[in-house]
Structure 1
Amino acid sequence: MSSQGEDTEGQGPETALPSSSCTDCDTTGGDVITVTVGATVPTGFEHTAAEEVKEKIGVDARISKDRGRIYFPITTDKLFQVHLLRSVDNLFVVVQEYEHYQFSESKEETLIDLQQLASKLPWTNALEVWKLNSTLKKKKGHRRGGNGSKGKPNSEAHDATAVDNEQQELPQASPTAEGQSDVEPTAQTDTCSQDVEEATPEAKVIKFRVTCSRAGDKHSFSSNEAARDFGGAVQEFFEWKADMTKFDIEVLLNIHNNEVVIGIALTEESLHRRNISHFGPTTLRSTLCYGMLRLCKPQASDIILDPMCGTGAIPLEGAIEFHNSFYIAGDNNDMAVNRTVNNICHIQKRRADKGSASGLPIDTVQWDLCNLPIRTSSVDIIITDMPFGKRMGSRKKNWDLYPSCLREMARVSRPGSGKAVLLTQDKKCFAKAISRMGGLWRKLHTVWVNVGGLHAGVYLLKRTGALFGQTPEDVYESRGPVERQEKDDTELS
């Protein structure tokens, strides 16, 4: 039975890397080719990631229907630039993409189609990019452990797949790593990394594994079955050896309803771990921190405050990427402050070892976040991860904590220009606390994200010109006509 979907050219297997034609990739001259690179990003921040791609690489990125992914073209002479992106978790080169893959009705026919698809895909350019990518990587030790998938849920999603692995030293090229996907909540989600039957052991045979991420409630098969059958066909076609832990190549099979994308991973481990060496119970992903920072657009000489810093993920990301601002990281927990200090020292040592300037524009303090030792109206931006009442704090305490800390944040922020970017899953409590601020904060924008499987909001607030001690009537009168109309419209709705 022939595979369904778009037609691709067939190939014959070779002992090492295959040769084939790629209808989606153009040879632009010499050894320079153009390929499509996919990236998994924090859900809700797809547009932020697309903006960064346009800014740093100069190409337009396409946002996938499957939330948490973007795709963009890249020439191989600029491949190193994709590793400089700060908003992406994982990178992979696209082998083939089917926007409307027609699955057979029966499970048996569908799995046969997937088996036959493996030999019809245009692998050549993707594998050349994988080989080139290895020259950009430092060789490190083998991946350790089987590492189950850690899904990155989105605002409407369950976990799908994210394979977290240590870096691996390859016999001929450096490794690739995890693939992630975010899927809709109404869709049945099923993820697996399947070890298929091993080929006859050979000294120089490339090792691989297939990671399948599936989202959709109309599939007759599971991701485990898809990975098993597709992986078996890949193994037979290339004569590679399957290995779940010490693999050289990770083939990604991403299925979202009728959209099917086959790719080869380019990252050894998720880029969101780049800054943190000492983790806490609620450490934010560095990629999510970057998205939050871009929301508030830090300017040179801005004073940026994180009053509940945890492990310091937000101020660390800011101090590295937006280093013309100054960051103050504080927490009421001494263990959190110690973790932040250790993470700062880790980054400083790493920079010093590379011969870079080791200093960072960041300082740490232990304090009571409802009574900050900071001068009134002296902070330009406040950005923090507020306690959800799950792993940290409690929902009951949040009803007292949120109003108190929002009022203190308003005190230290510059009236009229101060901004705050606040992350919380306790949306009801947060909305009530904002309404009790007497007009000190105005909500500008909300980005819905998933954090550890929880549907959370990233709120961009602006500090109004209201002063402490004013009545709500005084605040209303102090507003301009546009702000008054917005307030009236809100109350009417």
Structure 2
Amino acid sequence: MIRQLYCTAGAGMEELLAEEVQHKLCATQVKQIAGRVFFCSNADLQTVTQLKSAERLFLLLHKAEAISLPNNPAKAAVVIKQRVVGDPDIWKQTFQTWTALQQELQQRGQKRKREEDEDNDLHTPSFRVSCRCSGVIAHSYTSQRLSRIIGMAIKDHLGWKVDLREPVLEVNVLLSDDHCIVGIPLLKHPLASRSYMKHNGLRSTIAWAMSFLCPKKLNDCVILDPMCGVGAVLLEAAQEFSNAVFLGMDTDVSQLQKAAENVKASGMEGRVQLLQSSAMEIPLADGAVDAVLCDVPFGRKFSCSSDMPTALPRLLKEMERVLRVGGHLVLLLSLQLSAQLKKTICTHEHNQNVIGCNSLDTNNVHTDPSSTDTPKHTSSETSNTPLLIRSLQAQRKHKVSLGSTDAFIHTYTKI
């Protein structure tokens, strides 16, 4: 049966989520707006719950253009009853679909906590409303006030019972200057919550996006994260690519211990190896890995002792050194570090503008992966000559939100 669904997504993840639902679910009618992706699919719910780029999963009940509400609450209730609640038959049909999907989940071993009499009542379920409003409507009404008005309209129009503590259903409403969206969550917990992550690091959806944006699939490869932290990036990639081997490095023993616990919880002990080492001097031969995925630390929560803008050229040089020709480099960088990246990687356009770039001394740029006698530390590190890397070809740059700050995912191929 074709179902109308939608997922919420972090800022910058909407495009990737749209690609994922088309690829994994063969979804149709895929449309995206800020923070949400709508689609139709007949995939079983267990497959839908394996989406990696989504935050929460909803059964779509109603989607329309923006509505305007009068300042008078009584008049606003009439508009809400007509425009937000609408046809009672659609609510009943949607609830029946929701109930069938919940039974499907129960058969898969997922249990819902509810009172038995509520579980057996298919006509008057208990509910509560969670409303978010923005734009013009938010000037006249708070989200809490709108939730109460919408809740009373549903109660009067459908006969459903309000229960703010343990409802059978949670009705989610979004009212903005552009949209009126009503949906029912299909899962109690967000899709973005990973059961195998005992210690959280980089947000799981962003960590997944780093491997998804890699120009080439990572099966039958050796993949390195030289600053792995608790292992979020490696474990997300390991969930996607079953035939790859992963190596994580970090200088912080406590981080490696947390990474080891995450690896054990995910059942990936045989595929993910951890090593205490500095990303400044990676203990691997030239061209030893097929891909390097790295969330370069920045910000208060994930910063490290090194001055990253200063250290970035040397870090990039080491990553480029251990990467084989044809391999891929994927970096998550702050806006500041992204700007610094342009000064380090010498692209074709940069070649046209940087005086002397084409005639750089090869001691300053490592381009030959077969060379074994190139020193790790060159004179450029102690001189005023900028360290430029010419063997990395840009593939894609994607902006994502980390909540309080934004960042860019950069992808390169070594040529």
Q: TM-score, normalised by structure 2?
A: 0.79
Gap change, CA 1:285 and 1:135, over 3 Å in 2: farther
Q: State whether structure 2 residue 254 is matched by structure 1 residue 254.
A: no
Aligned ranges 1:423-442 → 2 under 5 Å:
423-425=332-334, 427-436=335-344, 437-442=388-393
Aligned position for 2:67: 102
Q: 1:244 to 1:447 in 2, by over 3 A?
A: farther
RMSD: 3.0
Matched, 1:346 2:346: no
Instruction: Give the CA deviation at 1:293.
Output: 0.9
1:136 lines up with 2:46 in the alignment: no
Percent identical among aligned pairs is: 24
| 1:364 counterpart residue number | 274
Separation of aligned partners in 1, 2:158 and 2:197: 38
CA 1:374–1:91: 2 relative to 1, 3 Å: same
1:212-251 CA-to-partner distances (Å, cap 9, x unmatched) read 1223356432222221211222234444444444332111
Unaligned runs of at least 5 residues, structure 2? 345-387
Q: Is contact 1:275–1:316 with CA below 8 Å preserved after alignment?
A: no
Q: 1:279 to 1:235 in 2, by over 3 A?
A: farther
Could you tell me how far apart the structure 2 residues matched to 1:419 and 1:50 are?
24
Distance (Å, rounded) in 2 between the aligned partners of 1:346 and 1:387: 24
CA distance in 1, matches of 2:81, 2:126: 19
Q: What is the CA distance between 1:106 and its match in structure 2?
A: 3.0
Q: Is the 8 A contact 2:63 2:180 kept in 1?
A: yes
Residues 279, 241 of structure 1: alpha-carbon distance in 2 compared, 3 angstrom cutoff: farther
Quote the residue 1:459 is aligned against: 410
- Asked if structure 2 preserves the Cα contact closer than 8 Å seen for 1:50 and 1:61, the reply is no
1:88 to 50, 54, 58: 54
Distance across 2 between alignment mates of 1:92 and 1:173: 24
Aligned position for 1:321 = 240
Q: In the alignment, is the contact (CA less than 8 A) between 1:308 and 1:331 conserved in 2?
A: yes
2:400 aligned counterpart, secondary structure: strand
Distance 2:145 2:166 in 1: 22
Q: 2:202 aligns with which of 284, 293, 310?
A: 284
C-alpha contact 2:26 2:41 (8 A) present in aligned 1: no
What does 1:49-60 correspond to in 2, within 5 Å? 49-60=17-28
Question: What CA distance in whole angstroms lies between the structure 2 residues aligned with 1:347 and 1:394?
Answer: 26
Matches within 5 A, 1:301-312: 301-312=220-231
Pairing partner for 2:85 from 118, 125, 147 = 118
1:359 Cα deviation (Å)?
Answer: 5.7
More helix by share: 2
Partner of 2:297: 387
Q: 1:137 to 1:456 in 2, by over 3 A?
A: same
Q: Give the counterpart letter for 2:174 in structure 1.
A: N
- 1:299 alignment partner in structure 2: 218
**Dislocated runs of 4+, deviation >6 Å:** none
- Residues in 2 aligned to 1:412 and 1:382: alpha-carbon distance in whole angstroms: 9
User: For the structure 1 residues 320 and 259, does the alpha-carbon distance in structure 2 shift closer, same or farther, using more than 3 Å as the test?
Assistant: same
Structure 1 residues 363, 331: CA separation in 2 closer, same or farther (over 3 Å shift)? Answer: same
Shift of 1:316: 1.0
Match of 1:214 in 2: 133
- Please say if residues 331 and 366 of structure 1, whose CA atoms lie closer than 8 Å, have aligned partners that are also in contact: yes
Q: CA deviation at 1:368?
A: 0.9
Q: Is the 8 A contact 1:305 1:379 kept in 2?
A: yes
Which one-letter code corresponds to 2:98 in the other structure?
A: W
Q: CA deviation at 1:139?
A: 9.2
**What whole-Å deviation, never above 9, does each CA across 1:281-315 have from its counterpart, x for those lacking one?**
xx123222222211113332111111122221111
Residues 17-56 of structure 1 show CA distances to partners (whole Å, capped at 9, x for unaligned) of xxxxxxxxxxxxxxx4x33100113332323222222222
Q: CA deviation at 1:133?
A: 1.7
Q: What's the secondary structure of 1:411's corresponding residue?
A: helix
Contact 1:275–1:313 (CA<8 Å) still a contact in 2?
Answer: no
Q: Is the 8 A contact 1:139 1:170 kept in 2?
A: no
Query: Counterpart of 2:411 in 1: which secondary structure?
Result: strand
1:189-204 matched pairs, under 5 angstroms: none
1:115 to partner: Cα distance: 4.2
Name the counterpart of 1:149. none
Quick one: distance in 2 between partners of 1:37 and 1:444? 32
Secondary structure of the structure 2 residue equivalent to 1:289: helix
Cα distance in 1 between the residues matched to 2:253 and 2:271: 21
Q: Is the 8 A contact 1:43 1:450 kept in 2?
A: yes
Post-superposition Cα deviations, 1:168-203, rounded to whole Å, max 9, x if no partner, equal 41346999xxxxxxxxxxxxxxxxxxxxxxxxxx9x
Is the contact made by 1:275 and 1:286 (CA closer than 8 Å) also made in structure 2? Answer: no
**Letter of the structure 2 residue corresponding to residue 341 of structure 1:** A
What corresponds to 1:403 in structure 2? 313
Structure 1 position 457, deviation (Å): 1.0
Query: Number of aligned pairs?
Result: 365
Structure-2 change in CA distance of 1:264 and 1:301 (3 Å): same
Q: Which residue, 361, 369, 375 being the options, matches 2:285?
A: 375
How far is 1:448 from its partner?
Answer: 0.9
The CA deviation at 1:391 is 1.6
1:94-146 alpha-carbon deviations (Å, 9 max, x no partner): 11110x233135353435422454353521222122101212334999xxxxx
CA distances 1:74-111 after superposition (whole Å, capped 9, x unpaired): 34x7344322322222111111110x233135353435
1:169 and 2:143 correspond: no
- Structure 2 match to 1:40: 8
